[in-house]
Amino acid sequence: MSRTSIKGQVLANLVAEFTEPPLEETSTTQNMDGKSVGTISLQEPLFWKVYVDGAANQSGSGVGLVLISPKKLTIEKSLRLCFLATNNEAEYEALLEGMSMIQRMGGKAVKMFSDLRLVVGQVKGKLEARDERMQGYLSQVRHLQSGFESFTLLHVPRSGNTHADSLATLTTSST
């Protein structure tokens, strides 16, 4: 091995020895007392984004979901509800389905988007759920919410939720 390549190898080993692991990694090291010390990750959790919408008309009710993984993979889902629902109930059904799907896929952090101010306001605690059925839905959301490390529900204008809206509307137009 030439003198230059030996110096390069020594330098590479030295850099590797003193380089800290990336922040997303968690490692355990031993200190002088022999006790293990954990390194805390400073990286934010990888968020899923979920756009939800519910639709209800005389033909039926349905939900539309657009899930975007942390790696930007998009999953579309539309479901026809097997019962007549109001728009508010359909929106809650969409929210619950989106939360359940993320949890089944192992997601721990989610940012959800809905265009229905009433549901967003109730989940955020800014509006009261007076109706017994809405209280039941809100209770289910709270239960699922506890399974996330991070959960955010944001209101988006209808124009910012057209993809999920189209999927929900599609289910009410088919038999």
Mean pLDDT by 10 residues, the chain (175 residues): 49 43 46 59 77 94 97 96 94 98 96 97 96 96 97 96 95 78
Q: Are residues 17 and 92 in the same domain?
A: no
Residue 43 lies inside a defined structural domain of this protein = no
Residues spanned by the domain of 32: 3-38
Give residue 24's pLDDT.
Answer: 43
User: What is the phi/psi pair of residue 71, to 5°?
Assistant: -95, 15
Q: Are residues 31 and 95 in the same domain?
A: no
pTM equals: 0.74
In contact, 167 and 65? CB cutoff 8 Å: yes
Q: Are residues 55 and 10 in the same domain?
A: no
Give residue 173's pLDDT.
Answer: 83
In contact, 60 and 94? CB cutoff 8 Å: no
Residue 131 lies inside a defined structural domain of this protein = yes
Query: How far apart, in whole angstroms, are the C-alpha atoms of residue 161 and residue 32?
Result: 56
Q: How many domains does one find in the chain?
A: 2
Give residue 82's pLDDT.
Answer: 93
